[in-house]
Amino acid sequence: MHMMGAHAYGKLLVDRLEYGDADEGDSQLWDVRAWYGGDYRKLWFETEGEGGAGDAPDVAELQLRYDRTFAPFWSWQAGIRHDLRQHAEDTSYLAVGLHGLAPQWLETDLSAYLSDDGDLSVRAELEYDLLITQRLILQPHLELDASMSRVDGVDLGRGISGSEAGLRLRYEIRPELAPYLGVRWERSWGNTRDLRRAAGEPTSSTSLVIGVRAWF
């Protein structure tokens, strides 16, 4: 505990646990984070994934990072990421990132990943909580992914590869538990879109979602 700071604490956040309904098929998605440590140093775990409803996930990400606060509301992170894929080989990465609150309380995550094959990719995630009432909260979410090279076997091209935007309206029954309704837009871009189109896979999707956000 001395290594972590004066007072160690932990938290488990189920940021998104949802079912999606789209023309391309139903889906399930999760985004779960947990951390333990002090004010300046933490161990950070994150997992997220997506797949067809009732099926094994198409891909699941597992990340373990060391988090070090360097300024109010900002920290840098370093660690590892491992992807479990249903239709391709699993992949491991070195991960570095920047996490914090930008002006106007915009939650920001910027990450870079170097795979065990030497492929470099980056990801940016932005979230914002807009309070309509003390219990009713509208949350926009945006994620952008880009790759510095083409990665065979996973239909990933060089350049901006994909985006995900979401708008979720949640009601906090209590601060620790909030069901929500919303919409999620996913789209492939550039070379990745061309690869997916050539493989006969959809390049965009719009889903109506229902889910729950909780923390412990």
Bridge partners (DSSP) of residue 64 are 45, 80
In angstroms, the CA 96 to CA 108 distance is 14
Please report which confidence band the pLDDT of residue 6 belongs to, taking 50, 70 and 90 as the band edges: low
Please report which confidence band the pLDDT of residue 154 belongs to, taking 50, 70 and 90 as the band edges: confident
Please report which confidence band the pLDDT of residue 109 belongs to, taking 50, 70 and 90 as the band edges: very high
Instruction: Identify the pLDDT of residue 24.
Output: 82
Contacts from 142-145 at CB under 8 Å and sequence distance 24+? 142/166, 145/121
Average pLDDT, integer, range 121-126: 98
pLDDT in tens, 31-51: 999 999 998 999 999 999 998
Q: What is the DSSP string of 115-152?
A: ETTS-EEEEEEEE--EESSSSEEEEEEEEEEEESS-BT
Residue 5 has pLDDT above 70, yes or no: no
Instruction: Identify the pLDDT of residue 1.
Output: 39
Residue 16 has pLDDT above 60, yes or no: yes
Instruction: Identify the pLDDT of residue 88.
Output: 87
Please report which confidence band the pLDDT of residue 7 belongs to, taking 50, 70 and 90 as the band edges: confident
Residue 61 CA to chain centroid, in angstroms?
9
Instruction: Identify the pLDDT of residue 64.
Output: 98
Residue 4 has pLDDT above 70, yes or no: no
Instruction: Identify the pLDDT of residue 193.
Output: 95
Average pLDDT, integer, range 90-105: 95
Residue 131 has pLDDT above 70, yes or no: yes
Q: What is the DSSP string of the chain?
A: -TTT-SS-EEEEEEEEEEEEE-TT--EEEEEEEEEEE-SSEEEEEEEEEEEETTS--SEEEEEEEEEEEEETTEEEEEEEEEEEESSS--EEEEEEEEEEEETTTEEEEEEEEEETTS-EEEEEEEE--EESSSSEEEEEEEEEEEESS-BTTTTB-SEEEEEEEEEEEEE-SBTTEEEEEEEEEEEE-HHHHHHHHHTT--SEEEEEEEEEEEE-
Residue 73 has pLDDT above 60, yes or no: yes
Instruction: Identify the pLDDT of residue 54.
Output: 77
pLDDT in tens, 161-214: 999 999 999 999 999 999 999 999 999 999 999 999 998 889 999 999 999 999
Residue 152 has pLDDT above 70, yes or no: yes
Q: Which two tokens stand for residue 139?
A: 């949350």
